[in-house]
Amino acid sequence: MVLPTRRVVVSGMGLVTPLGCAVDEFWNKLTAGTSAVAGITKFDHSRLSVHIAAEVKDFDPTDYMDKRTARRMDAFAAYAAAAAIMARDAAGMPIAPEAERIGALVASGIGGLTTFQAEVEKMIDKGPERVNPLLIPMIIPNMGAAHVSLELGTKGPLSATCTACAAGSNAIGDAFEAIRRGDAVAMFAGGSEAPICTIGVAGFASLRALSTRNDAPTEASRPFDIGRDGFVMGEGAGILLLEELEHALARGATIHAEMVGYGMSSDSFHMTAPDETGESQARAMTNAMRQAGIGPEAIDYINAHGTSTDVGDIAETKAMKLALGEHAAKVAISSTKSMIGHCLGASGAIEAAIAVLAIERGVIPPTINLVDPDPECDLDYVPLTARAVTVAVAASNSFGFGGHNVTLIFKRFER
């Protein structure tokens, strides 16, 4: 028996980012080419080789929940809950009447790393009996999803993905599939991360993955530029409210875009390095296009994974050429990590929201700091300045440590 395929639309968005905690504020700064990278303020970084990051500023969890609840969450869970509340409110989505048909699927690549570090330090200093009794539920990566459900009152499907830097995209893709097969009428989906602490920065710095352009932080994240020397750590959360089309229409929801494609693949290559040929990443793109029922020529914009690492940017360029063929030279591509850094498990979700906004608002955000393109990264990466253009179809790439590759595709909604 062939089951009917349900159409899935985006009816709400919520963002907590280094460029602001409201969709319009974030979008205005992003399209203006504003960098959020600056000196680290969250901890003493004097003994580290890296002194810069893209931190979330001016976020107060008590704007979204009571103080007691906020104290019982790691920052990554608070970011997720706040972004989901924003998405619910923006969509005007009533939860209680259909709670059992509304779910949450929220990812994190690392979970409560800051809480983990603080409690280990407390244990060493004051003894194991002083460890917070809520340590475990504060650090496990599923708690972003759990707190979204707790705060919103959803009682439908509840899950969390943990696929490194592809996690946020996997969460959106899995939620998309849950609605398509009829498991839910709506899903709050995305990712959240709060990794900017001593052990988080030290760990990535030890991998030599991070930029050490400490004296020029706003210029440090420079995807596809010949002078790139690693990524900049970011943090935040992005939540999309995905909704079955007929349900959204019945309640008069504003539809921002339709989600039409979700493709995955694996590298089977290395723990941290990407498949240098780009072939594995290209298969994720091809799989997403196949599900969407479109060819390469339909894609107007790609939000690239574009981390500002030497091997990664070249591999993604090769992947887009393999997947798109001749159209690769014609499509507009940008890496918004140049402005907000790499938000790890949240990056795919934030970037999916950017793809949706590009469709809705007709502007492609730039890749800032791209002043001297790497000859091996020779596609149209929308350097330095945003571009006003009609975007009918947008894709978003996310590639994670361990070889997790994901592509999401959205298009302008048409009845």
DSSP string, 91-136: HT---GGGGGGEEEEEE-SS-SHHHHHHHHHHHHHH-GGGS-TTHH
Distance between CA atoms of residues 111 and 142, nearest Å:
8
The two structure tokens encoding residue 271: 């723990």
Q: Are residues 290 and 320 in the same domain?
A: yes
Residues 279, 237 share a domain: no
How many other β-carbons are positioned within 10 Å of the β-carbon of residue 94?
11
Confidence of residue 112 (pLDDT cuts 50, 70, 90): very high
- Looking at residue 224, what DSSP letter applies? T
Claim to verify: residue 31 and residue 149 sit in the same structural domain: yes
Q: Is 34 helix (H, G, I), strand (E, B) or coil?
A: coil
The mean pLDDT value for 62-87 works out to 97
- 305 and 156 assigned to the same domain: no
Q: Residue 391 domain-assigned?
A: yes
Instruction: Taking residues 17-35, report their average pLDDT.
Output: 97
Residue 24 within a domain: yes
Same domain for 364 and 239: no
DSSP assignments along 163-210, one per residue: -GGGHHHHHHHHHHHHHHTTS-SEEEEEEEE---SHHHHHHHHHTT-B
Tokens of 92: 């005007």
Instruction: Collect all residues with Cβ–Cβ distance below 8 Å to 159 and sequence separation of at least 6.
Output: 103, 104, 105, 142, 145, 174
Q: Is the pLDDT of residue 17 over 70?
A: yes
Cα 280 to Cα 285, 401, 406, distances in angstroms: 9, 13, 10
Residues 83 and 210 in one domain: yes
> Number of helices (H) and strands (E), helices first, in the chain?
13, 14
**Res. 158: pLDDT tops 60:** yes
* Gap between the Cα atoms of 353 and 10, Å rounded: 9
- Asked if 211 and 269 sit in the same domain, the reply is no
Statement: residue 156 has pLDDT above 60:
yes
pLDDT tens, position by position, 180-192: 999 999 999 999 9
Are the C-beta atoms of residues 405 and 360 closer than 8 Å to each other? no
Q: Are residues 272 and 232 in the same domain?
A: no
Q: How far apart are CA 243 and CA 265, in angstroms?
A: 25
In a domain, 70, yes or no: yes
- Which tens digits make up the pLDDT trace of 248-289? 999 999 999 999 999 999 988 888 778 899 999 999 999 999
pLDDT (mean) for 286-293 = 98
Together in a domain, 189 and 307: no
Question: Which of 250, 277, 295 is the last residue before a domain boundary?
Answer: 250
Does 257 map to a domain? Answer: no
Q: For position 311, which CATH number holds?
A: 3.40.47.10
Domain count for the chain: 2
Active site residues: 165, 305, 342
| pTM score over 0.75 | yes
Q: Which two tokens stand for residue 328?
A: 């690769």
User: Could you read off the pLDDT of 395-404 as tens digits, one per residue?
Assistant: 999 999 899 9
**pLDDT at residue 273, rounded to an integer:** 79
Nearest-angstrom CA–CA distance, 190 and 346? 7
Residue 126 shares a structural domain with residue 273: no
Asked if residue 179 has pLDDT above 90, the reply is yes
Position 220 confidence tier, pLDDT thresholds 50, 70, 90: very high
Q: Which residues contact 20 (CB under 8 A, 6 or more apart)?
A: 26, 29
Would you say residue 71 lies in a domain?
yes
Q: What is the mean pLDDT of the chain?
A: 96
Q: Which residues of 244-282 are buried (b: 16+ CB within 10 A; e: fewer)?
A: bbebbeeeebebbbbbbbbbbbebebeeeebbeebbbbb
Segments forming the whole domain that contains residue 181: 8-250
Asked if pLDDT for residue 4 goes beyond 70, the answer is no
Q: What is the spatial distance between Cα 108 and Cα 346, in angstroms, rounded to a whole number?
A: 7
Amino acid, single-letter form, for residue 289: M
Asked if residue 2 has pLDDT above 50, the reply is no
What is the DSSP secondary-structure string of 46-89? TTSS--EEB---S--GGGTS-HHHHHTS-HHHHHHHHHHHHHHH
- CA–CA gap between residue 54 and residue 232 (Å, rounded): 7
Supply 16's token pair: 């907590």
- Position 190 in a domain: yes
Residues in the chain: 415
Is 106 within 8 Å of 148 (Cβ atoms)? yes
| Residue after which a domain boundary falls, among 221, 250, 279 | 250
Final residue of a structural domain among 250, 272, 287: 250
Q: What is the pLDDT of residue 75?
A: 98
User: 272 with 239, same domain?
Assistant: no
Q: Is the pLDDT of residue 3 over 60?
A: no
pLDDT tens by residue, 230-241? 999 999 999 999
- Tell me which DSSP letter residue 376 carries: T
The answer for 331, left when phi > 0, alpha when psi is -120 to 50, beta otherwise, is beta
With vertex at residue 28, the alpha carbon angle to CA 342 and CA 17, rounded to the nearest 5 degrees, is 35
Cβ neighbours of residue 223 under 8 Å, at least 6 residues apart?
A: 304, 306, 307, 308, 313, 335, 337, 338, 367, 369, 370, 381
Up-side HSE of residue 159: CA atoms within 13 Å toward CB? 17
Q: How many beta carbons lie within 10 A of that of residue 55, not counting itself?
A: 21
Which residues, at least 6 apart from 92, have a Cβ–Cβ distance to it below 8 Å?
Answer: 251, 253
- The answer as to whether 58 is a domain residue is yes
> Is residue 2 included in any domain, yes or no?
no
* Same-domain check for residues 89 and 215: yes
Helix (H) or strand (E) run with residue 258 in it:
strand 257-266
Residue 14: pLDDT over 80: yes
pLDDT of residue 201: 98
Q: Is the pLDDT of residue 415 over 90?
A: no
Res. 245: pLDDT tops 70: yes
Among residues 319, 250, 268, which one has the least CA distance to residue 289? 319
